[in-house]
Amino acid sequence: MGPVDGTEETLSGGNMEPVVRVGDTVRRATGPWTPAVHRLLDELADARVDGVPQALGVDAQGREILSFLDGVVLTDAPPHVQWSDGVLIAAGRLLRRIHDASEPLVADDALIWRSPRREPAEVICHNDFATYNLIVRDERLAGVIDFDFASPGSRLWDLAYLAYRIVPFAEDATSADGLDLDRRLAQLIEAYDATYSDREVIDAAVARLDDLAAFTRRRAQETGRADFLEHAAMYERDAAALRLPSSGLSDWQTLV
What CATH topology corresponds to 72-245? Aminoglycoside 3'-phosphotransferase; Chain: A, domain 2 (3.90.1200)
**Can you tell me the mean pLDDT for 72-96?**
97
With beta carbons less than 8 A apart as the criterion, state whether 250 and 202 touch: no
Residue pair 75/173 in contact (Cβ under 8 Å)? The answer is no
Position 169 pLDDT exceeds 70? yes
142 near 71, Cβ under 8 Å? yes
HSE (side-chain half, CA atoms, 13 Å) at 129: 31
**Higher local confidence (pLDDT), 244 or 12:** 244
Q: How confident is the model at residue 4 (pLDDT cuts 50, 70, 90)?
A: very low
Q: What is the pTM of this model?
A: 0.92
pLDDT higher than 50, residue 2: no
CA atoms within 13 A on the CB side of 218: 7
Q: How many CB atoms lie within 10 A of CB 153?
A: 24
- Comparing C-alpha atoms, which of 172, 140, 179, 153 is closest to residue 256? 172
Residues 6+ apart with CB under 8 A from 231: 216
Provide the 3-class DSSP secondary structure of residue 21.
strand
Residue 249's pLDDT band, with cuts at 50, 70 and 90, is low
Distance of alpha carbon 241 from alpha carbon 246, whole angstroms: 10
| pLDDT band of 81, cuts 50, 70, 90 | very high
